[in-house]
Amino acid sequence: MIHPMPSAEPEIMTTLDLSRAETGSPRSTTAPPAVATKANTNANSNAPAALDVLLSRQSQWPLTEPGPADTELDLIIDAALRAPDHGNLRPWRFVTIRGDARGPLGDLLVDLACARSPGEPRSAHAHRRQKAFAAPLVIALGAALKAHPKVPEIEQLLAAGAAAMNMLNAIHALGYGGFWATGPDCYEARLHDALGFAPSERLLGFLFVGTPKTPGHAPTRPSRSEHVRDWLPPQPA
Ligand SMILES: Cc1cc2nc3c(=O)[nH]c(=O)nc-3n(C[C@H](O)[C@H](O)[C@H](O)COP(=O)(O)O)c2cc1C
């Protein structure tokens, strides 16, 4: 079974991180607002509408009802299934957790926190149950990994990550908000198994999906120049 441990514990949203409230934006049924981008600010006046969706996406927290309808969830999944995929391995796996199913998930998150801190009373971790209710729809992201002569594991993980990104963009295009989170729970064998992942499958985190509770700011992007360069071929000696 593959249960890698992270080199450093990822940032966790155990308290539902309400400080992120300022980054939310209300659900809209129209295209997301244009963002400007001259010099990587938020201007985006020349972008076609589809590109505008990509440029204006931001992670949204906190989230509330309503979540996507079934037909909308189908579109979100369809977008995921259009991710690039070397060898047509289809490594993506998604487990939706909705409605009452979030209760047992929340209980398990409390169990896991208690097991990590055996000296502490259960009440110290009771708040972790809320994480399962942080959005109307929680999607566990998985990757089914297999040995392949031409497609190493990293490429299969990248394909699964690309699928998750397509989902976040589709969620945004539909006027909802999404947030991809991991945390120490995601590296726990008990959670992996409870979600029904096979030994060869890996849990890559959760997508929380719903309607942003609060309006937010236009997203900022890092400077292009710090992340892009032209390759200068080595000069002959
Ligand atoms: C694989 C992955 C795991 C993440 N896990 C967490 C997490 O556990 N907690 C958290 O606060 N942010 C996490 N993030 C970051 C958020 O999803 C989000 O990208 C970040 O807050 C920046 O917001 P933005 O997408 O609007 O730029 C994770 C991102 C990725 C790609």
> Which atom, in ligand 1's list, is nearest to the CA of 204?
1
CATH homologous superfamily for the domain 18-219: NADH Oxidase (3.40.109.10)
* CA-closest residue to ligand 1 atom 28: 181
- How much of the chain exceeds pLDDT 70, in percent? 81
> Which atom, in ligand 1's list, is nearest to the CA of 179?
17
User: HEC states along the chain?
Assistant: CCCCCCCCCCCCCCCCCHHHHHHCCCCCCCCCCCCECHHHCCECCCCCHHHHHHHHCCCCCCEECCCCCHHHHHHHHHHHCCCCCHHHCCCEEEEEEEHHHHHHHHHHHHHHHHHHCCCCCHHHHHHHHHHHHCCCEEEEEEEECCCCCCCCHHHHHHHHHHHHHHHHHHHHHCCCEEEEECCHHHHCHHHHHHCCCCCCEEEEEEEEEEEECCCCCCCCCCCHHHCCCCCCCCCCC
Query: pLDDT of 73-130, one tens digit each?
Result: 999 999 999 999 999 999 999 999 999 999 999 999 999 999 999 999 999 999 999 9
* CA-closest residue to ligand 1 atom 6: 181
- CA of 182 from ligand 1 middle (Å) equals 8
- CA of 57 from ligand 1 middle (Å) equals 13
- CA of 12 from ligand 1 middle (Å) equals 9
Query: pLDDT of 130-165, one tens digit each?
Result: 999 999 999 999 999 999 999 999 999 999 999 999
* Ligand 1 pocket list (CB less than 6 A): 10-13, 58-59, 179-183, 205, 219
